[in-house]
Amino acid sequence: MNWEAVLPLFIFISLVFIVGIWAGKFVSRSDSFLQEYFLGGRSLGGFILAMTLVTTYGSASSFLSGPGTAYNEGLGWVLLSMTQLATGYFVLMVLGKRFAIVTRKYKAVTIVDFLKERYQSKWVVLLSAASILIFLFSAMSAQWIGGARLVQSLTGIPYFTALCIFSFAVLVYVVVGGFRAVAITDGIQGIIMFLGTLVLLVAVIIAGGGVSQIMSDLAAENPNLLTPFGSDGSLTPAYVSSFWVLVGVGVVALPQIAVRAMSYKNAKALHRGIIISTFVVGFIMLNMHLIGVFGRTVLPGIEIGDTVMPELAQAVLPGWAAGIVLAAPMAAIMTTVNSLLLMVSSTIVKDVYLNYVRPDAGDKTIRRWSMSATALIGIIVVFMSLQPPDLIIWLNLFSMGGLEAAFIWPIILGLYWRRGTKHGAIASMLTGVISYIIFETFYPQPFGMHSVVTSMLLALAAYISGSVLSEKEIIKK
């Protein structure tokens, strides 16, 4: 075991753990448990808002598989990754103040709450809760496995022990601290992700002999690595551009992201949040993927994409610094997992249990239920991570696009278009999810684009026609 690298990693995990527990004291003090536990009492400032948004979005793929693909595809993949710059400003600007005002009027704590008040329909609630549970649960399992594997590969501890350490660290503070603990620890981990990226970038450029040298080495190996079209010229402009929808503007519809757009304190926090998150997301995405490309000349011949970033860090940095840099992907995974865990638990407790099973539950019952539901979901995920069922792996492939296709129109048009009805919303969710799964399975990349684009257009048609048709019917009556 490489103690020099392992020690900083454990210090980092313990630090996050302690801060998370400390943030838990707000939960016991608060007079409205639900608001505090699932939304941090709507009190986030600009910096924490930006960090929790960026870190929830930035996951294992930004730090491990993304740079790994850039290593193989060259600058074309960095170009693709820059479509994510839009998430920094677009989410907070488009949901923006209108979402903040409306959700305060509705007293909504979750995204499903917002949809429930907007459409006044049981079916909208059940459909959206089901999509969140199915897709986010599988997404969470995938990240969880990634986290345990990372601890395992960095420290050499067996997978089972690694899984226990990782789970314990995340679970305890999320269970006792809720949203505020998640947001504050996201703030710390966001700083680690930022610094880790910066240090590794500088070290890789030095190891490669400067940018010009790296570029001429790449050109000598395969000139395609310097083009926008990928190593074998197969990245078409239409395909790369369609990622503006999947990982750019579509992100607005991911429930774990959208819920953050109702958690900030005031307009000033929003303004600062927009600027900081644009900077941080752009910096991390651009440089992390560039590191992958540069790494090709520093450490050629790595076969498994996900190991590019850890191997590079260990090759170009002294042991202790590598430990700090490798805390970055760890942080990326922990910050995504903690938000997903809380999102799933809020869906079960707030959206299903309190709406339909026990609407009259007292504060004490809610408190007990929220915490035990969060803990229980966490434990189920740990067990599933021991031997992940194929269904989870299969569902995870659809998770991001599926949620976007389901929620984008019910959220956006529900917020801005008065004539949208529950029939439109239900039609849109069903059309979005089902068409997306069908396209991905049988006919990927219709019109040369990622299938999420086509599914979103179909879902838009369904929303508008469903709304207009049902409106006429209501008038007839």
* DSSP type of residue 360: T
Under rule CB under 8 A, residue 90 binds other proteins: yes
Report the run of H or E that residue 334 belongs to, with start and end.
Answer: helix 319-346
Q: What is the smallest separation between the CB atom of 164 and other proteins, expressed in angstroms?
A: 40
Under rule CB under 8 A, residue 298 binds other proteins: no
Name the token pair of 40. Answer: 């941090």
**Binding string, 191-220, against other proteins, x = CB under 8 A?**
-------------------xxx-xx---x-
Rounded CA gap, 140 and 378, in Å?
A: 10
Do the Cβ atoms of 419 and 211 come closer than 8 Å? Answer: no
**Of 24-32, 103-111, 128-136, 163-171: span binding other proteins (CB under 8 A):** 103-111
CA nearest to 79, candidates 222, 293, 323:
293
Q: What is the smallest separation between the CB atom of 18 and other proteins, expressed in angstroms?
A: 33
Rounded CA gap, 189 and 271, in Å?
A: 22
**Alpha-carbon separation of residue 199 from 63, 305, 318, 321 (angstroms):** 14, 21, 12, 9
**Of 32-40, 165-173, 174-182, 225-233: span binding other proteins (CB under 8 A):** 225-233
Q: What is the smallest separation between the CB atom of 275 and other proteins, expressed in angstroms?
A: 6
Judged by CB under 8 A, which of 68, 88, 177, 410 binds other proteins? 88
Under rule CB under 8 A, residue 122 binds other proteins: no
- Is 79 or 452 the residue whose CB approaches other proteins more closely? 79
**Binding string, 227-246, against other proteins, x = CB under 8 A?**
xxx-------x---x--x--
Under rule CB under 8 A, residue 86 binds other proteins: yes
Q: What is the smallest separation between the CB atom of 239 and other proteins, expressed in angstroms?
A: 12
C-beta pairs of 381-388 under 8 Å, 24+ apart in sequence = 381/137, 381/140, 381/141, 381/144, 381/167, 381/341, 382/144, 382/163, 382/164, 382/167, 382/171, 384/141, 385/141, 385/144, 385/145, 385/148, 385/163, 385/167, 386/160, 386/163, 388/141, 388/142, 388/145
Name the token pair of 415. Answer: 């917020």
Instruction: For the segment 418-457, give every residue that binds other proteins (CB under 8 A).
Output: 418
Rounded CA gap, 388 and 68, in Å?
A: 23
Instruction: For the segment 10-49, give every residue that binds other proteins (CB under 8 A).
Output: none
Give the footprint of other proteins on this chain (CB under 8 A).
75, 78-79, 82-83, 85-86, 88-90, 92-98, 100-102, 104-106, 120, 210-212, 214-215, 219, 223-224, 226-229, 237, 241, 244, 248-249, 266-268, 270-271, 274-275, 278-279, 282-283, 286, 416, 418
